[in-house]
């Protein structure tokens, strides 16, 4: 269990994280999305105990991060965005070094386990400097799970990888999900859509959306409709604009039959389909189309992070 309550971080007069609260159940892969500077990395550093909070609390595996920082680190694996590896060490030496830092002998089963889990058998004797970025990420993941943590925190784990390498790392993360809770920060929306059970979108230090990718897409879709009515085009547009909850009406195209297709955007809490039907009936305008538009995670992200 991860339990975050009113977590806040300021740097001088800059508010980087603003009273963030959420809970994560064991066994989930949770994606943390947000534009640059939104507070993603700050949040991850607070969760790992790398930074102290200004206000609020973070409990990981039933331990308060501030009160029990060393105990929390024993239960958490962390892969920062800049993967800290020593190029002059071999893969095996790097893992042995990490094992010793963790108080584990190089002969332990853990060392063999992570080499197999992360697919490092073919490069275990090579120097880190010789590895592709995909294998370097695998080594970083191996180091982060060497002590078999309950929680895995990954900051941009596929950043800079080619599509094949991204897929390999995603598949590896999926295998880790079976026994661990995973939080990953990413700016690759398709990655969150396909890999995460749940998505948190952070904007200007606040959580502005929380849910599965599908549910967030359905919520966004309810705010966008395509409406085609057969009637005086200007009058139709005026009546649609006058409906409660409508934010914008944009004409797509007209037709020789005297109808027009409109894009209608509404407040997220408003469903105007019945109101549009009533307008059509009252004015005797045949309704040719009323469609709720589909929405991707990218649509949701843009809606929530491009506002002033």
Domain with residue 232: its CATH number is 3.30.70.1340
CA-CA distance, 140 to 14, in Å (whole number)? 32
Out of 3-17, 114-128, 236-250, 257-271, pick the least confident.
257-271
End-to-end CA distance of the chain: 34
Check pLDDT > 90 for residue 17. Answer: yes
Whether residues 42 and 186 share a domain: the answer is yes
- Judge if 44 and 161 occupy the same domain: yes
Confidence of residue 240 (pLDDT cuts 50, 70, 90): very high
Q: Are 219 and 271 in contact (CB under 8 A)?
A: no
Task: List, for residues 141-192, the tens digit of each pLDDT value.
Answer: 999 999 989 999 999 888 878 888 888 888 888 888 778 899 999 877 877 8
More confident residue, 252 or 269: 252
Global pTM?
0.75
Residue 195 reports pLDDT greater than 80: yes
What's the chain's average pLDDT? 87
The pair of structure tokens assigned to 251 is 């004409």
Examine the fold and report which residue of 178, 211, 244 is the final residue of a domain before the chain moves on.
Answer: 211
The total number of structural domains that make up the chain? 2
Q: How confident is the model at residue 13 (pLDDT cuts 50, 70, 90)?
A: very high
Residues 233, 271, single domain; the answer is: yes
pLDDT at 281: 95
Task: Calculate what percentage of the chain has a pLDDT beyond 90.
Answer: 51
Looking at the structure, tell me whether residues 267 and 119 fall in a common domain. Answer: no
Residue 252's pLDDT band, with cuts at 50, 70 and 90, is: confident
pLDDT tens per residue, range 292-302: 776 667 777 77
Do residues 135 and 43 share a domain?
yes
Name residue 84's beta-bridge partners. none
As a whole number of angstroms, the distance between CA 308 and CA 201 comes to: 16
Q: How much of the chain, in percent, has pLDDT values that exceed 70?
A: 93
Residue 224 banded pLDDT, cuts 50, 70, 90 = confident
DSSP state of 130: G
Closest CA to 128 of 193, 98, 84, 177: 84
């Amino acid at each position: 269990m991860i339990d975050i309550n009113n977590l806040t971080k300021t740097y001088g007069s800059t508010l980087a994280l603003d009273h963030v609260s959420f809970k994560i159940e064991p066994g989930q892969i949770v994606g943390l999305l947000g534009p640059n500077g939104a507070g993603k990395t700050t949040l991850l550093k607070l969760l790992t105990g790398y930074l102290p909070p200004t206000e609020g609390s973070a409990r990981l595996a039933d331990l308060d991060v501030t009160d029990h920082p060393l105990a929390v680190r024993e239960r958490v694996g962390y892969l920062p965005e800049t993967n800290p590896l020593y190029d002059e060490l071999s893969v095996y030496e790097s893992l042995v070094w990490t094992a010793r830092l963790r108080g584990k002998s190089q002969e332990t089963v853990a060392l063999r386990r992570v080499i197999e889990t992360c697919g490092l058998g073919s490069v275990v004797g090579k120097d880190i400097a010789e590895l592709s970025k995909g294998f370097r990420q695998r080594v970083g993941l191996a180091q982060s799970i060497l002590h078999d943590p309950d929680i895995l925190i990954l900051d941009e784990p596929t950043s800079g990888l080619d599509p094949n390498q991204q897929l390999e790392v995603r598949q590896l993360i999926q295998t880790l999900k079976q026994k661990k809770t995973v939080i990953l920060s990413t700016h690759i929306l398709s990655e969150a859509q396909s890999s995460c059970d749940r998505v948190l979108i952070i904007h200007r230090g606040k959580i502005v959306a929380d849910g599965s990718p599908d549910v967030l897409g359905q919520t966004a879709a309810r705010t966008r409709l395509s409406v085609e009515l057969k009637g005086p085009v200007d009058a139709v547009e005026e009546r649609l604009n006058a409906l409660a909850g409508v934010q914008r009406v944009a004409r797509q195209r007209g037709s020789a039959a005297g109808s027009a297709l409109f894009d209608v955007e509404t407040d997220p809490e408003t469903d105007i389909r019945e109101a549009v039907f009533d307008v059509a009936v009252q004015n005797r305008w045949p309704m040719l189309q009323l469609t709720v538009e589909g929405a991707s995670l990218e649509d949701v992200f843009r809606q929530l992070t491009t506002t002033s």
